[in-house]
Structure 1
Amino acid sequence: MREEPAGTDDLGVDITIPSVSRMYDHYLGGKDNYAVDREAVAALERRLPGSRVLAHDNRSFLRRVVRTLARDYGIRQFIDHGSGLPTQDNVHQIAQRTDAGARVVYIDNDPIVLAHGRALLEDTRSAVVAADIRDTDTIFASPEVSRLIDLSQPVAMLFVSVMHCLPDASDPAALIRRAMSRVPSGSVMVLNQLVSHHAETRDFVTGFMDHCTRGNWGRVREPAEVAAYFAGYDVLEPGLVEINSWRPDSELCCRPRGGGPWFEYGGAARKP
């Protein structure tokens, strides 16, 4: 059994409160999480079995969409909003398999994510920016974005499994418009989030996560609410879908799970 400090860790993080990024790390089999994160995952899994599968599905979608944008659409620069803890096949590794010169900026405000991310990124083509994803001005004024991102060329703006962390009071739609206004025509927005057709499921997950993270959470939404984020953009095939349906590698490995009580929904769209 791993030993864990009480109260705060050596980065000054309060480890009595579950972290969404550390819960996700645990889902993926990582080691950068604490007992409180594992307990929250177990409690959620008891009420909604299969939540672990959603995390793996989401990671597979990220791999496919980054590979597709680099290989088929010629995108060579990516800004990953709410990147989370490093794991296998990070965005820069996927993109650089297509072009070693591909550049990636990761955005996160979790101290653990920042510490581990900066330790991982040893080359000059990737960087981590300490910022809240809602603070577009800070992100685009950062030296890392200025150094790595050429705003005369298309940029992939990744909002992968992060919008459900933002409450309505943060106006996620305005965030999307603000961020996309900074990048040129031909840039691509990638966005997916947890949704449910069932009000009971939406209310339970939203309430559970809001309580256990002490307010550091947003809302499970309906598919139509997510679709509204894409208004005015040219949605790429196959459209907005349960993410396992987005350009699967094969019918077996990425088969849609039939919606289920909750699922990840979204896609990719090009800025006109």
Structure 2
Amino acid sequence: MTGTPPPAPQQIDTTRPHPARVYDWYLGGKDNYPVDEQLGRQIMAIDSGAPRAARANRWFMQRATRLLSRETGIRQFLDIGTGIPTEPNLHQIAQGTAPETRVVYVDNDPIVLAHAGALLRGTPEGVTEYLQADARDPRSILEQARGILDLDRPVAVSLIALLHFIADEDGAHDLVGTLVDALAPGSCLVLSAMTADFEPENVRRGIDAYTAQGVTLVARSRAEMGAFFTGLDLLEPGVVSVADWRPELAEGESDLGPGPVSLYGAVGVKR
């Protein structure tokens, strides 16, 4: 069963760059505007590896989803901060392994909402839904998700490249803690987020470029990233650069080339 049609999108501001559209431009997508390309090129002038990082992050999501679908038997996914659809999407990977998988996408961005129909083309046996909700309100997300997912059974919660837009003082740890507390044992937390551990100066200048556009951006250390998994069992290889997380699960990935990728990724399991 596919999801119900999403509500009509709100007006989209094309006069200011937007992180989701800049990310789409890095991935070679078409759902971006000249102002997004301009910021993307500005970031690339600081760090030419930005498109590599975007690809590596996307591939991390795909590998984590394959692992959870194939090896842990997870059949429910809650993807928060979904972003503009880029195939293969999470539900395509998960339902490719188990067609009965239930997937809920969550975002609060009119840009994502405008493309949400592409996220609802799931398998007849499974469920694919899109919720319009703010990541900073996890209780509302859980309340809505309960109508689609069985939270008494294991769920994989994905926060892919989301937490670096939420500072600790703005509730990043409360957000993650509220979600994890509501999950059944055997559930999983999948995170990726920006770090300055590998290229501190480039990342600092990139943050400055986003901040000048009114966008909050936070880089976290390996220890700070690991703190989100307190009380969870980290799957091997733990908190590592997204490019180095379980490369044996790669399918259809190209060579990233040498150099660091300034995003950490990890997967934890609730006991």
Q: Normalising by the residue count of structure 2, what TM-score does the alignment of the two structures yield?
A: 0.88
Contact 1:248/1:255 (8 A) holds in 2: no
How far apart, in 2, do the equivalents of 1:191 and 1:120 lie? Answer: 20
- For residue 232 of structure 1, what is the aligned residue in structure 2? 231
Answer with 192-201 or 239-248: which moved more. Answer: 192-201
Q: Residue 63 of structure 1 aligns with which residue? A: 62
Question: Which residue is 1:129 aligned to?
Answer: 131
Encode CA deviations 1:98-120: one digit per residue, 9 max, x unaligned.
11010111111111211211354
Q: Which has the higher contact order (CA 8 A, sep 6+)?
A: 2
- Cα deviation for residue 122 of structure 1 reads 4.1
Distance 1:258 1:84 in 2: 27
| CA distance in structure 2 between the aligned counterparts of 1:93 and 1:71, rounded to whole angstroms | 13
Cα 1:120–1:158, aligned 2, differ >3 Å: closer, same or farther?
closer
In the other structure, the counterpart of 2:4 is none
Superposition deviation, residue 259 in structure 1: 6.4
Matched-pair contact (CA < 8 Å) for 2:159–2:192: yes
Q: Measure how far apart 1:12 and its partner are.
A: 1.5
Give the letter for the 2:134 counterpart: D
- Which residue does the alignment assign to 2:173? 173
Instruction: State the distance in 2 between where 1:119 and 1:245 align.
Output: 29
Percent of aligned pairs with the same residue?
37
Query: Which residue number corresponds to residue 5 of structure 2?
Result: none
CA separation of 1:105 and 1:250: change in aligned 2, threshold 3 A: closer
In 2, Cα distance between equivalents of 1:61 and 1:199: 22
CA distance in 2, matches of 1:22, 1:37: 6
Partner of 1:154: 154
Counterpart-to-counterpart distance in 1, 2:34 and 2:188: 38
Q: Retained in 2: the 8 A contact 1:21–1:84?
A: yes
**The residue matched to 2:146 in structure 1 has which SS?**
helix
Other-structure match for 2:28: 29
Q: Distance between the aligned counterparts of 1:122 and 1:200, measured in 2?
A: 42
Query: Mapping of 1:12-161 within 5 angstroms?
Result: 12-123=11-122, 125-142=127-144, 145-161=145-161
The question of whether the paired residues in 2 share the 8 Å contact of 1:126 and 1:148 is answered with: no
State the aligned residue count.
258
Do the aligned residues in 2 keep the contact of 1:210 with 1:218 (CA within 8 Å)? Answer: yes
- Check conservation: 1:248, 1:254, Cα contact below 8 A: no
- The amino acid across from 2:135 in the alignment is I
The CA deviation string for residues 172-228 of structure 1, in whole angstroms up to 9 with x for no partner, is 11211111111111100001111012543343222211212x2x3231222221111
TM-score w.r.t. length of structure 1: 0.88
Segments of structure 1 that go 5 or more residues without pairing to the other structure are 1-9
Q: How much does 1:231 deviate?
A: 1.6
State how far apart, in whole Å, the 2-side matches of 1:254 and 1:211 are: 33
RMSD: 2.2
Alpha-carbon contact 1:245-1:256 (below 8 Å) kept? no
- Separation of aligned partners in 1, 2:141 and 2:249: 37
Q: Render the CA deviation track for 1:140-173: whole Å, top value 9, x for unaligned.
A: 222xx23321111100010111111112321211
Query: By how many angstroms is 1:88 displaced?
Result: 0.7
Report if aligned partners of 1:168, 1:218 keep a CA contact under 8 Å in 2.
no
Residue identity in the other structure for 1:177 = G
Bigger mean CA deviation after superposition, 76-85 or 237-246: 237-246
